[in-house]
Amino acid sequence: MSAFGTSDAGRPQSIYSGEVAQQFIMPTINVPSRRPFTEAGKGLGRLKLLVAGVGKTALIRTITQSCSHIVHVDPTVPVAMASKGFLPTKTMPNSPPISQGTFQITETLASTKPYPSWWKDSAFSSPTPAPILTEDTILDRNICLVDTPGYQETCRPTDTMGQVSQYVESYLQKSRLDGLEDPDVLKTISGSGGLLVDAVLYMIPSSGLSATDIHYLRQLDALTNIIPLIAHADTLTLEQTAAAKKHIAQQLAEADLGLFSFDPSTDGVGEQHIYAASSELGSDSEVMDASLLMSSEYEVIAHLERICDEFVKRVARKREAGNEALIRDARGKIFTYGSFRLGVFGPGSDIDTLVVAPKYVTRADYFEIFPNLLKEMAPPGSITDMAVVADAFVPIIKFEFDGISIDLIFSRIAMLKQLNKDFTVQDSGLLRGLDEAELRSLNGTRVTDEILSLVPEESTFKLALRAIKLWAQRRAIYANIMGFPGGVAWAMLVARVCQLYPKAASSVIVNKFFHIMRRWPWPQPVLLKHVEGGPLQVRVWNPKLYKGDQFHLMPVITPAYPSMCATYNITRSAMTVIQQELSRGCDITDNIMLGKSPWSDLFVKHTFFTKGYKYYISVITASTDKEAHKIWSGYVESKVRVLVQGLEQHQSIALAHAFNKGYERRHRCTNEAEISQVQAGSFSFLAKDSDVKEEDFEQEGKVEEVQPVETKPDLSGIPGLKTEPTNDAHGLKTEENETQPGVKTEGVKSEDDNSKAPSQIPKHNPYTDVFTTTHYIGLTLSEGAKSLDLSYQVENFKALCTQWEKYDAVLNSLNVQHVRSFNLPDDVFEANETKPQKPQKKRVIPNANGAAQIKKRSASEENQEPPAKRQQASVTAAG
């Protein structure tokens, strides 16, 4: 068998059994099961590349993941060097394991070739082809990437050099024509490539060649071609790369080593060609400087661990002041989950973090002590934008630590009074005695670890997930709190596709993701494994037992016990929007796989404000204290989904699409009247952060005038449309020139007129800063809608928010308004986006008598049907 051959062991083996393997195969999807074949790949002969030096394994992985011509990759297998003759013996995945380590040479076989014609004919002519002739087994493995151990990791560098040289020489011996099989003889003579190692990619550090490197290169130069690569070039500047190339070229010339040249005319003589191996593919929203970002994030985690230990010690002193042993050994644990733990975080990503404490620490202790302790123990000024939401579905503290966003949740362990240093949360028995909020908190880390353990190939999963996360963020469908899937839900969806296609490349996983999820028969749940039972009396997702679980529209079930629905709050409108985006993703990735479109097309920004809707609802939270506003706006944000669900029930609304984030603004006012205008949605007193300086609080200054943005709705486009409360059950028709807001928008004010007003300003400060956060909901009206009374939904929403026990009418206000697309504020548009313009009314030309001309219909037009109204978007399919 040749080095590029295959065997039955190379067939794709299902990693599942029983019902799990039958859960959802999607046999009706007629799309490629792997990368599409390319013309360049079809014409490529046999190629065997050996990689030596530093950074070898990462380079091989990058080649197999990124090369668009490679349609299939086999699992990497070790190669055993025979004791006699040094002939490599290929070991198969089912063979007894060979000792692993830096001394082991491995091979990765890949294919760029199309299926043979006989396979295509038989595949379509026979409904049940022979099991042994699966798609993977009949592909011609024409690419072989050989990974070698690094000599700097062994005791004697000559051992590695000798082993690699023997490997290359063994194929030189096998390539003698008298020893080849007929197909290999023909391929060798025809120039299609044979068994030889065609080239060595030698990875060189930027510091240059060592004496051992030069000795290694001399041995390999006598056996095959050498292509030098500067390793980790993406960590170097252009100047550093150029200097490294010059230095290495000089070293090679002094050693009289000739290198392979892609230009046949040079024949290796003249300028030395040295290349740079970089993992950076170009400008990308997810590119970051790992050396800076990673270190700061892990430093933040270390700070949190120290703060967590002190927090537990303080509670221990409070509970048992005389128990010195308890206080001395008191400690908590910090666990990460979500994107950070999955390894797919990027610039601006939150670090989802869990604080775990012993049983004597309560959630009340956490919210009472931890926020102040954070500010006390963290470096001065490092904690900013803190918001405490104790009443959320998962109680949380949100803040920024040195510019890095942290989401901090809490759970105690009711079974333990002390936590060991090596404590983990994988034992399901630790869930005993916890309430539902604590279970949800503790399950974050458990779910993340389960996801990583259930995917066939972790690196493929992570790369595909990064793409899907970026797509969801760019298309504004990434926000659990606003009714869209969150990071964990998207991760589980991608993981399910990886399970269905365990050997597919990341690009194929992305394409398959859109096709499978668009056709998924919701509300059938997405499961990574069977829902497990357990010894605890806790609720596990079960729509047959719990009626509430039957109303989940797109259930994605967490794999860790107790299983829960990660998408319980997806609304009908959000589901419709997601399905629209999945359809768009199908079309774009199909073109990408065919080479007709670039990947950047998939990540084009959403058009929510530019082309999405004509009518919007804006939810404005305002406060005159920054810290109070964080708390108030966070609570209202968690309830916007309730308003969306109320709007969906209105017979005149087909779609209520909440944007996935709010817009924070700062205003500077000098009196009560200006504050009231800001609370009502005015932008006349908007101030940039750069305009607000500390010295403004000590001396009078003039605020630069900002041109107001008109936010009063123009409802002339919809006769009879009305959104303010009325006693007329049928709704009054809106006059053409009416300028009153479409929704009754009075802010919620204190009934006590003698209470301290929020605008009482110290004499040394002439300004009051008003902080606002605005959430936007795009509306699509039902066909034929002539009137729209949203007063019931709006008033219910206001009542829900203002009845919160922490609501302070002196500091906080809530306003809901209707806004037309052309009245949206400028800051929701980017520089390259076009803001919708107000439609121009047709000019009426008077006749000779001064009256407007009215065109009468002819008799033939009298009985004609009126023109059909434009079809509005519907959520019927999502119901």
Q: Which residue has the tokens 């799990």?
A: 20
Q: H-type helices in 649-707, by residue range?
A: 672-679
Mean pLDDT for the chain? Answer: 75
H/E segment holding residue 405: strand 404-412
Share of the chain above pLDDT 90, in %: 36
Q: Which domains does the chain have, with CATH numbers?
A: 37-276 (3.40.50), 287-448 (3.30.460.10), 455-606 (1.10.1410.10), 609-828 (3.30.70.590)
Q: State in Å, rounded, how far the first CA of the chain is from the last one.
A: 57
Given a cut of 60, whether residue 748 has pLDDT beyond it is no
Predicted pLDDT at 137: 56
The arithmetic mean of pLDDT across residues 532-558, rounded, is 89
Predicted pLDDT at 2: 28
Predicted pLDDT at 5: 28
Predicted pLDDT at 724: 39
Contact (Cβ atoms closer than 8 angstroms) between residue 204 and residue 216: no
Beta bridge partners of 557: 565
**Which of 430, 448, 449 lies closest to 439, judged by CA?**
430
Given a cut of 90, whether residue 290 has pLDDT beyond it is no
Q: In the chain, helix, strand, coil percent, each to 5?
A: 35, 15, 50
Tell me the pLDDT band of 601, cut-offs 50, 70 and 90.
Answer: very high
Instruction: Specify the higher pLDDT residue, 725 or 340.
Output: 340
pLDDT digit string, tens, across residues 138-165: 567 888 888 888 654 444 667 777 788 8
Contact (Cβ atoms closer than 8 angstroms) between residue 137 and residue 69: no
pLDDT digit string, tens, across residues 476-532: 999 999 999 999 999 999 999 999 999 899 999 999 999 999 999 999 999 999 998
Q: Which of 60-69, 840-849, 864-873 has the highest mean pLDDT?
A: 60-69
The arithmetic mean of pLDDT across residues 527-548, rounded, is 88
Instruction: Specify the higher pLDDT residue, 297 or 470.
Output: 470
Predicted pLDDT at 111: 83
Instruction: Specify the higher pLDDT residue, 338 or 126.
Output: 338
Q: Which residue has the tokens 């040289």?
A: 165
**Which of 356, 331, 564, 536 lies closest to 431, judged by CA?**
536
Helix (H, G, I), strand (E, B) or coil at 666: strand
Given a cut of 80, whether residue 393 has pLDDT beyond it is no
pLDDT digit string, tens, across residues 9-33: 333 333 333 333 223 322 233 333 3
H/E segment holding residue 781: strand 768-781
Given a cut of 80, whether residue 410 has pLDDT beyond it is yes
520, HSE (Cβ side, Cα atoms, 13 Å):
26
Pairwise CA distance, residues 798 & 808, whole Å = 14
Tell me the pLDDT band of 627, cut-offs 50, 70 and 90.
Answer: confident
Contact (Cβ atoms closer than 8 angstroms) between residue 621 and residue 804: no
Pairwise CA distance, residues 260 & 427, whole Å = 56
**Active centre residues (catalytic):** 339, 350, 352, 407, 469, 478
Predicted pLDDT at 779: 95
200: exposed, middle or buried (Cβ count in 10 Å: 0-12, 13-18, 19+): buried
Predicted pLDDT at 191: 43
Predicted pLDDT at 315: 94
Tell me the pLDDT band of 755, cut-offs 50, 70 and 90.
Answer: very low
**Which of 197, 349, 193 lies closest to 260, judged by CA?**
197
Predicted pLDDT at 432: 87
113: exposed, middle or buried (Cβ count in 10 Å: 0-12, 13-18, 19+): buried
Pairwise CA distance, residues 733 & 722, whole Å = 7
Tell me the pLDDT band of 577, cut-offs 50, 70 and 90.
Answer: very high
Peptide bond into 456 cis (omega under 30): no
Contacts of 305 (CB under 8 A, 6+ apart): 333, 334
pLDDT digit string, tens, across residues 29-47: 333 334 566 777 777 777 8
Q: Which of 216-225, 305-314, 396-405, 431-440 has the highest mean pLDDT?
A: 305-314
Show the tokens assigned to 59: 């380079």
Tell me the pLDDT band of 173, cut-offs 50, 70 and 90.
Answer: low
Given a cut of 50, whether residue 671 has pLDDT beyond it is yes
Q: Which of 170-179, 370-379, 425-434 has the highest mean pLDDT?
A: 370-379
Pairwise CA distance, residues 846 & 288, whole Å = 64
Tell me the pLDDT band of 182, cut-offs 50, 70 and 90.
Answer: low
Q: Which residue has the tokens 């009298």?
A: 862
Radius of gyration of the chain (CA): 33
Contacts of 722 (CB under 8 A, 6+ apart): 715, 731, 732, 733, 734, 742, 787, 788, 789
Given a cut of 80, whether residue 403 has pLDDT beyond it is yes
Contact (Cβ atoms closer than 8 angstroms) between residue 170 and residue 87: yes
Pairwise CA distance, residues 504 & 34, whole Å = 6
Predicted pLDDT at 482: 93
Pairwise CA distance, residues 862 & 566, whole Å = 57
Given a cut of 90, whether residue 205 has pLDDT beyond it is no
Given a cut of 80, whether residue 833 has pLDDT beyond it is yes
